[in-house]
Chain A
Amino acid sequence: MDIDVKFFASLREHMGRTSDKVTLEGEATVADVWGQLSSEPMPSNILVAVNKEYTDLSQVLKNGDEVAFFPPVTGG
């Protein structure tokens, strides 16, 4: 399956890109996506969204999902 990935704010700078595409075989979770993107474990403060809803590393994905990784939010 093909997954669109987005990074925001300080994590975007750390990863050196705003977006990426990941191809995974069989059943896969958000944790598998992170594993394809980085050899480092995901920092504990990083938040995860799939298709613009908050979730966590265990969420199972389907083809075409948009996965976003970002630091704690600071709006308002």
Chain B
Amino acid sequence: MKVVVQLDALDPYKEIKHHEETVLVSGKHGGVVSFVGTMRDFNDGEDVTAMNLDHYPGMTEKHIEAVCQEAMDGWDVMDVLVVHRVGDMYPADPIVLVAVWSAHRASAFDACRYVINYLKERAPFWKCEVTTEGKKIWVEHNSKDPGVAESREKLA
């Protein structure tokens, strides 16, 4: 399990390849399911040109690690990698990567969805968007994935 919060730009597919080449044992996993969250150029009817992502160093990593551990304990998965950006970013930039490796696909799909949903619910990050008029807007809440309750039930 690896969790990284970084200021640097994120190349999610390079991260997956690097993790497979340096951490995982070749040939042992049957697949990887990844979720890549990217920045939109719109939100709540406003055109968005840039975004700053704030976080609480230490608490953020701790809570992502806890969610990843729950996924590792709850499903038959081999490894979980999360890389999350902070700082200034622009539309289409990758914000977050969740990658889950397992022997069989069902566990990887379920665990990946669990990690992104609970990361969004619990990890202390805050988005501040900049509109085309230069107005700064703090995003007040994340949208809910209807699968959250379902994946919680499966884990329970």
A70 touches B140 (CB 8 A): no
A54 to B84 CA separation, bound complex (whole angstroms): 21
Q: List chain B residues, Cβ under 8 A from A72.
A: 140-142
- Is B127 an interface residue when CB atoms closer than 8 A count as contact? yes
> Which listed residue, B58, B125, B140, touches A75 by the CB 8 Å rule?
B125
Q: Nearest A residue to B82 by beta-carbon distance?
A: A76
Q: State whether A10 and B126 are in contact (beta carbons under 8 Å apart), knowing that A75-B119, A76-B96, A76-B142 are contacts in the complex.
A: yes
Does B46 have its Cβ within 8 Å of any Cβ on chain A? no
- Asked if A68 and B59 sit within 8 Å, CB to CB, the answer is yes
Query: Which of the candidate stretches B6-14, B15-23, B48-56, B102-110 sits at the interface with the other chain?
Result: B48-56
Which one of A9, A52, A73, A76 contacts B128 once the chains associate, using CB atoms below 8 Å? A9
* Count of chain B residues with a beta carbon within 8 Å of a chain A beta carbon: 28
Please, how many angstroms separate the alpha-carbon atoms of A4 and B51 in the complex? 29
In the bound complex, residues from chain A placing their C-beta under 8 Å from that of B58 are: 52
Q: How many residues of A contact B (CB 8 A)?
A: 16
- Sample of 18 further A-B pairs with CB below 8 A, known A71-B140, A74-B125, A76-B120: A6-B56, A8-B124, A9-B54, A9-B128, A10-B126, A10-B138, A52-B59, A54-B122, A70-B56, A72-B141, A72-B142, A73-B122, A73-B124, A75-B60, A75-B95, A75-B123, A75-B126, A75-B142
Q: What is the interface of chain B, defined by CB distance below 8 A to chain A?
A: 37, 53-56, 58-60, 62, 84, 95-96, 116, 119-128, 138-142
